[in-house]
Amino acid sequence: MQGLFEIKNGSEKISIEETPKELGRFSTQNIYMGNSIELMREIPDQSVDIIIADPPYNTSKGNNLSMNYGTLPGFGGNWGKISEVWDDMSLEDYISFTLNWLKEAKRTLKQSGSMWVHGTYHNIGIINVAMQILEIEIINEVVWYKRNSFPNLSGRRLTASHETILWAHRGGKRSYSFNYEHSKNGDFSDDNLKNPGKQMRTVWDLPNNKTKQELAHGKHPAQKPVRLARRMIQLSASPGDICLVPFAGSGSECIAARDEGLHYIGFELNEEYVQIANSRLGKDGL
């Protein structure tokens, strides 16, 4: 698709060129089906401006599906087990998987770029250590407080009401973008903890509920609200930048990138979710 489309940047409207950009064999404004690590290896070095990654949390156990993500020295052999919800890995396998996809993410990210990675207590410690091993510098640890979280039905533990997001850059010279004025003075009226005109803190109070439009084409078990990714983009990217989404799921991060005037490339292993994402991206206003 070619031409111009308009986005709002504060009180201004900005025209953004919609003509896809080429990255290796990939074109932006597309979601590609396949193994994210293998596909990332085909993206040129330091060619993307922002990465938003929602990897498997390794919380579920169940069915077997053969998959090969490769190895890094000292971190075990190839892993070959993952459940239908991408979560059935041994600790050794998950460490190897995490190191491999983060290694490719770092390689593809520009020196001025940012990386945002989702997690919970199941996996965020592993991601943190993997980043340190790969010399990826963590800028902030963000707590996403979900005020409408699902209750703990067993009554045997506290209700899980937050996830963790790591904001990082590739390491070395600190030249990443931070839209500081927007972080202070932007419209964050959906966040009960953000005071207008005050610095944004590392606890974000954003409900996890999705709009009817976000669910109209199908659901994903780990689907994030589009508003969450839009905040990450608004803080650390600019219209016209390229956003890489290694685990695209049903497309929320790609939709957020499109709505903020960015080019995007998404990778997703599951054909059903690729179809859902493409259906969502084919509609305006999602």
Would you list the DSSP string of 171-208? Answer: SSS------HHHHHHS--TT-TTPPTTS---SEEE---
Residue with tokens 């929320």: 252
Q: Which of 106, 109, 107, 117 is nearest to 50 (CA)?
A: 109
Q: In what order do the strands lie in the sheet with 109-119?
A: 30-33, 263-268, 242-245, 48-53, 109-119, 162-169, 137-145, 203-205
Q: Which residue has the higher pLDDT, 213 or 71?
A: 213
Q: Quick one: pLDDT at residue 64?
A: 41
Using 50, 70 and 90 to split pLDDT, how confident is the model at 2?
very low
The tokens 């610095």 sit on which residue? 199
116 close to 166: Cβ distance less than 8 angstroms? yes
* Residues 14-61: tens digit of each pLDDT: 545 568 999 999 999 999 999 999 999 999 999 999 999 999 998 754
pLDDT digits over 178-211, tens only?
Answer: 999 999 999 999 999 999 999 999 999 998 877 7
Write out the E strands in 210-268.
Answer: 242-245, 263-268
Pick from 55-64, 155-164, 196-205, 261-270: least confident: 55-64
pLDDT at 154: 85
pLDDT of residue 218: 75
Running DSSP on this structure, what letter comes out for residue 104?
H
Q: Render pLDDT for 24-37 as a digit per residue (tens, 0 to 9).
A: 999 999 999 999 99
Report d(CA 208, CA 19) in Å as an integer. 33
What is the pLDDT of the chain when averaged over all its residues? 85
The pLDDT, as a whole number, for residue 19 is: 87
- Closest C-alpha to 82, from 224, 275, 269, 273: 269
- Residue 4: partners with Cβ closer than 8 Å, 6 or more residues away: 15, 16, 17, 18
pLDDT band at 175 (very low <50, low <70, confident <90, very high): very high
DSSP 17-74: E-SPPEETTEESSEEEES-HHHHHTTSPTT-EEEEEE-------------------TT
* CA within 13 Å, CB half, 274: 15
SS3 82: coil
Cα separation of 93 and 157, whole Å? 28
Classify residue 239 as exposed, middle or buried by CB count within 10 Å of its CB (0-12, 13-18, 19+): middle
- Find tokens 């996809």 and name the residue: 101
Question: What is the set of domains in the chain, with CATH numbers?
Answer: 4-281 (3.40.50.150)
Give this prediction's pTM. Answer: 0.84
User: If you ran DSSP here, which 8-state letter would residue 153 be given?
Assistant: S
C-alpha–C-alpha distance, residues 53 and 114, integer Å? 11
How deeply is 135 buried, as exposed, middle or buried, from its count of CB atoms within 10 A (0-12, 13-18, 19+)?
exposed
- Report the 10 Å Cβ neighbour count for 8: 11
Q: Which residue has the higher pLDDT, 257 or 210?
A: 257
